[in-house]
Chains A and B, each alone.
Chain A
């Protein structure tokens, strides 16, 4: 039978921002099947919390944008609601082997490398200070290379004015998720590029 709750659901629950030690102690003794087919309020609540964490991991690994810093590192902004930075960094590292993936914000950062020694992970201070030390390490010949301008052009080309549906857009790409991944291009919901166009928009 296909399960929507993974067998290691406890690992996801611990990363939820509202997971208390009491709830964790209760969940430790539960099986995935108990949570999956729960009718009881507490188990159903755990199911929702696990789903919320997994959803954030799934969405943010798509929404995070990476900027290449030299040949060996890429960085991106990430400020998740739950404690999922480590998971997102690992998923991206597996996608780009031999590239150090650095995700972070003004307070915290997560670094991950997937290479010949498997997955190597660490956490660090604010993203800016990690990037400063990276610059010292790589020297002045490396500069960040972003494809944001190219993405903006492509993203605009896919929009269909006659099917404008901002409620659905906001439901799928919520404000919280856009803030978490610092999505600038996608957040410009009026689609305007000039002041005149912006002023004439009635949104």
Chain B
């Protein structure tokens, strides 16, 4: 122990950063933290490799969760607004100028950086997620947000995860600076189209304030910054949009701007806002959209294939979309001993890991029983109607009646 302390003293670098100016204002921490609880992005996975013992913190390729809230959500980052003052008039937002909100708070870059480092050193959080209202104007607020991140990287020698929100209408130079110091950046599109945005916010322009910023980010990502790329978030059901509209917007975002992830947040009415009397959207709607997103990104379903999961009112039912697609397309039972990887992935109850295990097991001998498949991780109760072993397969009522 004595030797360890001596070694720590010898090699110590100044990672403490500037001394904290004031004790943190607890009400401010709560108010600005609470204002981000509908921001969903919790992933802290970053491909950036970090090394060296002269800096504090690191990033983990898989991300780390530091706690779970009692609503079941993972708490991995210090998610906060820089300020909750905002001149925009988003009908769902408690910080909007048209809402009868509470007190207005704002951090300074030094205060926020110091506060964050206290939590990081205590191993409470994995990184910083910094969003904001636009304050007096987006130029000044974005500059302060970037200054906070730069202070963390230089004065505090922090090399962990940073996610910065790009404010709608932000300056191009600020975007470039933000991307040079952060792992991930994002602009929230909130709604799938320009017409939907005009229904809930009269002060933002969909094309110039949002899509153009995403285009800037895409160009900078390919050139230099933000190793974890860009993401976005949609509010599900805030403007009465259908699931098809949301899904099409998602596909557009992946194709046009090369996004890493699209996040969904089911609309929850906030007291004091214009939409406070609107119905809360069920959590399962958000969940089903995530499943569709997963099928698109990880299972590589085409967007045409996925359209069969929607009903005639352009919404998703509260059932597993993979099973719904298999039923709608009349998927025939496949033999796991000869099926390709893509064919196996189409079977409900088989995921990428179990599909790879099946392929590997085939090289050692044929698969003969359901028990073997279950040992490889296949969820047999879902998969058995779509698998054929030795010429035998279970049937579905619909298939039997046909």
**Residues of A with Cβ closer than 8 Å to B?**
1-2, 4, 33, 36-39, 41, 44, 58-59, 61-68, 71-74, 76, 92, 94-100, 111, 113-117, 120, 122, 124, 130, 133-134, 137-138, 146-151, 153-169, 172-173, 183, 185-186, 189, 191
- B144 interface residue per 8 A CB criterion: no
- B126 interface residue per 8 A CB criterion: yes
A45 CA to B115 CA, complexed, in Å: 45
- In the complex formed, the residue of B with least CB distance to A133 is B1
Known contacts: A96-B121, A154-B78. The answer to whether A169 contacts B72 by CB under 8 A is yes
- B307 interface residue per 8 A CB criterion: no
* B56→A2 contact, CB < 8 A: no
* B70→A169 contact, CB < 8 A: yes
| Chain A hits for B37, CB < 8 A | 157-160
Nearest-neighbour CB distance to chain B for A49, whole angstroms, equals 15
Q: Bin the interface of chain B by size.
A: 35 or more
* A115→B121 contact, CB < 8 A: no
| Chain A hits for B34, CB < 8 A | 157-158
- B224 interface residue per 8 A CB criterion: no
A165 CA to B266 CA, complexed, in Å: 15
Known contacts: A1-B360, A153-B29, A158-B69. The answer to whether A147 contacts B124 by CB under 8 A is yes
| Chain A hits for B79, CB < 8 A | 158
* B122→A130 contact, CB < 8 A: no
Known contacts: A124-B1, A169-B70. The answer to whether A62 contacts B53 by CB under 8 A is no
A92 CA to B13 CA, complexed, in Å: 17
Which of B2, B72, B353, B357 gathers the greatest number of chain A CB atoms within 10 Å?
B72
- B10 interface residue per 8 A CB criterion: yes
Nearest-neighbour CB distance to chain B for A30, whole angstroms, equals 14
Q: Of B5, B62, B353, which contacts A72 at CB under 8 A?
A: B5
Produce 1/0 per residue, B367-379, CB < 8 A to A: 0000010011000
Q: Of A39, A97, A122, which contacts B375 at CB under 8 A?
A: A39
Q: List 15 interface pairs A-B (beta carbons < 8 Å), by A numbering.
A: A39-B372, A58-B64, A62-B66, A62-B126, A96-B56, A100-B1, A116-B53, A117-B7, A149-B26, A154-B30, A155-B75, A157-B33, A162-B280, A166-B70, A172-B72
* A62→B65 contact, CB < 8 A: yes
Nearest-neighbour CB distance to chain B for A146, whole angstroms, equals 7
A185 CA to B124 CA, complexed, in Å: 11
- B16 interface residue per 8 A CB criterion: yes
* B64→A160 contact, CB < 8 A: no
